[in-house]
Homo-oligomer: A and B are copies of this chain.
Amino acid sequence: MADKKFVEQITSRDEDFAQWYTDIVKKAELMDYSSVKGFMVIKPAGYAIWENIQQELDKRFKASGVENVYMPLLIPESLLKKEAEHVEGFAPEVAWVTQGGLEPLQERLCIRPTSETLFCDFYANDVQSYRDLPRVYNQWCSVVRWEKETRPFLRSREFLWQEGHTVHATAEEAQERTIEMLNIYADFCEEFLAIPVIKGQKTDKEKFAGAVATYTIEALMHDGKALQSGTSHNFGDGFAKAYGVTFTDKDNTLKPVHQTSWGVSTRLIGGLIMVHGDDSGLVLPPRVAPTQVMVIPIAVHKEGVMEKAQELKARLAARFRTKLDDSEKSPGFKFAEAEMRGIPVRVEIGPKDIEAGRAVLVRRDTREKIEVALDNIEDEVGALLDRMQSEMLERARAHRDEHTSYARNYEEFKDAIENHPGFVKAMWCGDRACEDKIKEELAATSRCIPFEQEQIGETCVCCGRPAKKMLYWGRAY
């Protein structure tokens, strides 16, 4: 009975994408709801994905010179308020602590919605001289933003993330670091999560509160909506001036530092689900999958089957994250469970297979079945995992390209947004009023000014005035 939940039909992805998503997060046991609205429990299957994301990203960060630190959870109201745009952006959505122990606090403290202010406060003392620069620090933590509408992993009142905060002697170096981190995110998404992304800059309307420039990686979900998957901000010296983060340069003059920040969050788990999942559940790219191979014995009552399955599990576990399902459930149940959890490859082994010295590999994404000899099964599984990883990326890229339209005028733009879910590439005059109008009328937003510009036309898709840039537009999570 308890296992039944795995094999119950889930909502069809094409019928009701939102309900399909909710079914998956629950039935693949990624999360559960908690007693506080918008706060979730991340269950072992979900947290293990996050651990793999952390481990891989952290390795890439450290290779680029990042050091990890930990900043306080709470921010005094007066500290939050020092940078005007920043406080305006975040104050409406923070949680306030007003009592500590039995005493009311003299000053309210907010739970960090992000930690720019704390890093600035720290760097103001920590950095004195050009010799102290750069500082390239990052922290892994949770943050709280009091969102009105919440959805597991995509928008929640608390989420896990990493936030990097760096200080540099020059504007050039800060800009380089901003782009370096964006590139790390993009490579990570493509190579590890098999999620292709568009790299670009946010418009002023969409940039981070207090940033000079915000860069983003934008991914396209299966339903044609965009997901902002990571951002990297160049703050210039605005925060430095507001918080007094200065250093004595080689020329013996006092200068403000130049800062960056950059982050990705558990939102990436939502992206994994919505890019790769299907009507049987989650589909995980092999590199991020907590369990890469599930060995399922067939006809376990037959002599020698379980022993052979155990032996096979031990062999495969030496090279891959492998589990053996030796429970008393039927093979059909086990197949459905492994599919719901998105395990990339299942290995079926029964009496006939053993006799023939083979096993059957079943690939989660395509359901392709491959008979392989037991002798070199490790190499076969390794090759299959590699193939699956790269084909999942290519499939996601093809899906994105098929769901990317060009619009030369407002009619085409409206038609694309309303009838062809996906990215729309269109020219833009650079005026916020056009973004506002498009958001108002079509519920679409500018996703980014892509680094790879194309000349689609001469005029703004909205107002018809001369165009300055090509933008990606779309409806988004």
Contacts and interface: CB of A to CB of B under 8 A. Distances in A.
Interface of A: 1-2, 32, 34-36, 39-44, 47-48, 50-51, 67-76, 79, 92-102, 109, 111, 118, 121-122, 125-126, 128-129, 131-132, 137, 141-142, 144, 146, 148, 157-158, 160
A76 B39 CA distance: 11
Given A32-B125, A74-B36, A69 B43 contact: yes
Given A2-B128, A2-B132, A41 B109 contact: no
B34 A72 contact: yes
B76 A35 contact: yes
Contacts of A51: 68
B36 A76 contact: yes
A117 B70 CA distance: 26
Contact of A72 (B36, B102, B122): B36
A160 B32 contact: no
Nearest to A136: B44
Contacts of A70: 41-42, 47, 50, 142, 160
Given A128-B2, A141-B142, A44 B73 contact: no
A75 B111 CA distance: 14
B95 A100 contact: yes
B109 A101 contact: no
20 contacts: A2-B128, A34-B71, A35-B79, A36-B74, A36-B76, A36-B109, A39-B72, A41-B69, A41-B71, A41-B122, A42-B70, A44-B69, A44-B137, A47-B68, A51-B68, A70-B142, A72-B158, A95-B109, A97-B111, A101-B146
A92 B102 contact: yes
A44 B136 CA distance: 10
Contacts of A50: 70
B95 A96 contact: no
Nearest to A58: B51
Nearest to A37: B100
